[in-house]
Amino acid sequence: MKIIEIREQTKPIQSSIRNAYIDFSKMTLSLVAVVTDVIRDGKPVIGYGFNSNGRYGQGALMRERFLPRIQEADPASLLDAERDNIDPHKVWATMMTNEKPGGHGERSVAVGTIDMAVWDAVAKIEGKPLFQLLAERYGNGRADRKVFVYAAGGYYWPGQGLEGLEREMRGYLDRGYSVVKKKIGGASLAEDCKRIEAVLRLLGPGQKLAVDANGRFDLKTAIAYAKALSQYDLFWYEEAGDPLDYALQAELAQHYAGPMATGENLFSMQDARNLIRYGGMRPDRDWLQFDCALSYGLVEYLRTLEMLKAHGWSASRCVPHGGHQMSLAIAAGLGLGGNESYPDLFQPYGGFPDGVKVDNGYVTLPELPGIGFEGKADLYAQMKGLAG
């Protein structure tokens, strides 16, 4: 059993939206196919992966460092000693040969993207959904296919107005979402409050709004927003300050009693641990958004979950960034609190298998082998195009 070839390609996911920090007019991602010599149903097993929106394609790093290390390794050194399968932990360690500690963002996206494709292949070789494999190997044995999802949108875009924002948010509620998210920090505080109130007027019983500043604020602004946001009953106040400013996050907790969320721009277990140690995050109400597709993949995410447990945090406080099916599988297999979803953005990479509907804020994952990409026709068309 071995990996025959790994292909990668940079794909566009541009759109004319912006958050408080960047616009997405030139956004790309890397798509990866791990081709194995294992035959299932008369065809070679191929695992697929891609990185989440926001960090661009990673092809150069993959071609120069990570793919050659896998290809040059003795195939037997990448196999699972206990099962007839490839071992994602060994593939991960091979990729990380001759890499210094620290400086994680430099390579964590490239490694995480390949790691996703390896897990997809491993679950397909085992002939089961990844969520089932994860529940058996690392969880309590039982996956819960029903996963909470929220609709992320509410970006700033030209000519939007309050009407455009309301139309977008109403569209998410009509599609079955119970929590919607909009951006803040891309306009004045007064303007943002008007936008928030416009969305709040659309919400019915049991429906909530989350807001996301994308790390834009200094402490003074973060506190000014915290005071203004305290008048609303928000689902969460996300990424107020710089992702690495743990003192800001800790201080902010003194000014905002409601739930806060952060972590999508922390790219290793060690960075996540610093947030937990020094960021003042509260395990009874706050949310953690580490995204495996940007942060060394599931091999590292398992370490992060271990770290959280050791610090008294439940996995159910994790609602990853990114809106991809990999985090849906982890949520179903290991009991995360849910997953982000971008109903109208970053297609065809985000979203759910075809036919999966959001019902009162939850989706139920179908029983597809691997991560489940084959169940999403537009996405699988891109993947098949790469694998040939």
Binding residues vs Mg ion (CB under 5 A): 212
Selected catalytic residue, list 104, 208, 321, 376: 321
Q: Which of 206, 23, 47, 34 is nearest to 120 (CA)?
A: 47
| Min CB(21)–Mg ion separation in Å | 10
* Active site (annotated) includes residue 26: no
Tokens (6 digits) for 324: 């991809």
Do the Cβ atoms of 279 and 286 come closer than 8 Å? no
| Min CB(55)–Mg ion separation in Å | 13
Which 8-state DSSP code applies to residue 21?
Answer: S
> What is the rounded CA–CA span in Å between residue 42 and residue 231?
60
> What is the rounded CA–CA span in Å between residue 99 and residue 118?
20
Based on CB atoms, which residue is closest to Mg ion, 66 or 155? 155
Q: Which of 266, 218, 267 is nearest to 240 (CA)?
A: 218
Based on CB atoms, which residue is closest to Mg ion, 126 or 286? 286
* Single-letter residue type at 360: N
Q: Which of 200, 198, 240 is nearest to 223 (CA)?
A: 240
Based on CB atoms, which residue is closest to Mg ion, 346 or 380? 346
| Min CB(341)–Mg ion separation in Å | 13
- Biggest distance spanned by C-alpha atoms of the chain: 61
Residues sharing a CB contact under 8 Å with residue 145, sequence separation 6 or more, in sequence order: 131, 332, 364, 365, 366, 367
Based on CB atoms, which residue is closest to Mg ion, 192 or 212? 212
| Min CB(249)–Mg ion separation in Å | 14
- Closest residue to bound Mg ion by CB: 212
* Active site (annotated) includes residue 90: no
> What is the rounded CA–CA span in Å between residue 375 and residue 63?
29
Selected catalytic residue, list 182, 183, 208, 376: 183
Based on CB atoms, which residue is closest to Mg ion, 115 or 212? 212
The residues that are catalytic are 183, 321
